Structure 1
Amino acid sequence: MRRLIAAALLPLALTAAACGGQATQEAQTTPAPGTSATPESFGENSLVIYSGRNENLIAPLIDKLKAATGVDVQVRYGDSAELAAQILEEGDRTRADLYFSQDAGALGALSKAGLLAPLPQPLLDRVPEKYRGADGTWVGVSGRARVIAYDPRQVKDAPKSVFDLTDPKYKGKVGWAPTNASFQSFVTALREVSGEDKARKWLTDMKANDTQTFAKNGDILNALDEGKISAGLINHYYWFEKVAEKGEAAVPSKLAFPQAGDPGSLVNVAGVAVLKASKRAEVAQKATDFLLAAEAQKYFSDDTKEYPLIEGVPTAAGLPALDSIKGPDLDLGKLDSLDQTLTLLKEVGLV
Structure 2
Amino acid sequence: MRSLKRVMVAAIAAFGLTASMAACSTDNNGTEGANNDGPLVIYSGRNEELIDPLIQKFEEETGIKPEVRYAGSAEQAQLLLTEADRSPAHVFLSQEAGALGLVAQKDLLATLPEDVMSKVPAGYSSEDQQWVGLTGRARVVAYDKDSVDEADVPDTYQEMVDPKWEGKIGVAPGNASFLAFVTAIRVAEGDDAAREWLKKLAGLNPKTYEKNGHVLEAVNKGEVQLGLINHYYWYNLAAEEGQDNMRAQIKFGQDGDLAALVNATGVGIMKTAEDRDDARQFVDYLLSADGQEYFAEETAEYPLVEGVDGPEGVPPLSELKTPDVDLSELGSVDETAAMVDEAGLTLNK
TM class by shorter chain equals: 0.7 to 0.9
Q: Which of residues 202, 206, 228 is equivalent to 2:201?
A: 206
| CA separation of 1:278 and 1:216: change in aligned 2, threshold 3 A | closer
Offset, 1:119: 1.1
Indicate the residue corresponding to 1:3 in structure 2.
none
- The 8 Å contact of residues 115 and 275 in structure 1, kept in 2 or not, is answered as yes
Out of 322, 328, 347, the residue aligned to residue 342 of structure 2 is 347
Cα distance 1:320–1:201, how it changes in 2: closer, same or farther (>3 A)? same
For residues 155-200 of structure 1, give each alpha carbon's deviation from its aligned partner in whole angstroms, at most 9, with x where no partner exists.
3303221211333332322222212221111111111111122222
- Matched with 1:51 is 44
Q: Given residue 126 of structure 2, which amino acid in structure 1 is its aligned partner? A: G
C-alpha distance in 1, partners of 2:311/2:246? 17
CA offsets, 1:214-252, max 9 Å, x none? 333223222322333322111111111111111112112
Pairing 1:239–2:234 present: yes
CA deviation vs aligned residue, 1:99-151 (integer Å, no higher than 9, x gap)? 11222112112222222111111111111111111101110112211101122
Match of residue 89 from structure 1: 82
Structure 2: distance between partners of 1:13 and 1:172:
24
2:267 match: secondary structure: strand
State the AA in 2 paired with 1:140: G
TM superposition shift of 1:254: 1.6
Contact 2:36 2:276 in 1 (8 A): no
What percent identity do the matched residue pairs reach? 43
DSSP 3-state at the match of 1:256: strand
Query: Structure 2: how far apart are the matches of 1:81 and 1:279?
Result: 22
SS state at 1:162 partner: coil
When normalised by structure 1's length, the TM-score is 0.85
2:66 counterpart SS class: strand
Contact 2:132 2:267 in 1 (8 A): yes
Q: Is the 8 A contact 1:275 1:281 kept in 2?
A: no
SS at match of 2:192: helix
Distance 1:45 1:321, change over 3 A: farther
Give distance in 2, aligned partners of 1:127 and 1:30. Answer: 35
Cα distance between partner residues in 2 of 1:111 and 1:267: 20
Of 155, 158, 162 in structure 2, the residue corresponding to residue 167 of structure 1 is: 162
**1:18 Cα deviation (Å)?**
4.9
How has the CA–CA distance of structure 1 residues 248 and 215 changed in structure 2, closer, same or farther, with 3 Å as cutoff?
A: same
Give the distance between the partners of 2:62 and 2:126, measured in 1 at CA.
25
Q: Work out the CA distance in 1 between the residues paired with 2:260 and 2:248.
A: 18
Aligned residue in 1 for 2:32? none
Given that 1:13 and 1:79 are in contact with CA atoms closer than 8 Å, whether structure 2 keeps it comes out as: no
Where 2:79 maps in the other structure, the secondary structure is helix
**Counterpart contact for 2:110–2:274, Cα < 8 Å:** no
Pick closer, same or farther for the CA change 1:281–1:13 going to 2, 3 Å.
farther
Q: In the alignment, which of 139, 147, 153 is matched to residue 146 of structure 1? A: 139
Q: Which residue of the partner structure matches residue 8 of structure 1?
A: none
Give matches, 1:195-274, under 5 Å. Answer: 195-274=190-269
- Whether contact under 8 Å (2:5, 2:337) holds in the other structure is no
Task: Work out whether residues 170 and 207 of structure 2, in 8 Å CA contact, stay in contact via their aligned partners in 1.
Answer: yes
Q: For 1:122, give the aligned amino acid.
A: D
Structure-2 separation of matches of 1:225 and 1:86:
35
Tell me how far 1:43 sits from its aligned partner.
8.2
The one-letter amino acid of 1:108's match is G
Distance 1:256 1:18, change over 3 A: farther
1:336 deviates by 1.3
Question: Any stretches of 5+ residues in structure 2 without a counterpart?
Answer: 30-34
- Shifted more, 211-220 versus 319-328: the winner is 211-220
SS of the equivalent of 2:40 reads strand
Q: Does structure 2 retain, via aligned residues, the 8 Å contact 1:47–1:280?
A: no
Q: Which residue of 2 aligns with 1:73?
A: 66
CA–CA separation in structure 1 for the residues paired with 2:18 and 2:50: 14
Which residue in the other structure is 1:312 paired with? 307
Residue 133 of structure 1 aligns with which residue? 126
- For the aligned residue pairs, the C-alpha RMSD in angstroms reads 2.8
2:177 match: 182
Q: What's the counterpart of residue 25 of structure 1?
A: none
User: How far apart are 1:281 and its partner, in Å?
Assistant: 2.8
User: Offset at 1:202?
Assistant: 1.7
How many residue pairs were aligned?
333
Name the aligned partner's letter for residue 156 of structure 2.
S
Gaps of 5+ in 1: 1-10, 21-27
Deviations 1:238-278 (A, max 9, x none): 11111111111211222111112222222122211111111
Q: TM-score, normalised by structure 2?
A: 0.86
Contact 2:173 2:208 (8 Å CA) reproduced: yes
Alignment check: 8 A CA contact 1:17 1:29 kept: no
Deviating more after overlay: 44-53 vs 55-64: 44-53
Alignment of 1:293-312 (within 5 A): 293-312=288-307
Report if aligned partners of 1:12, 1:338 keep a CA contact under 8 Å in 2: no
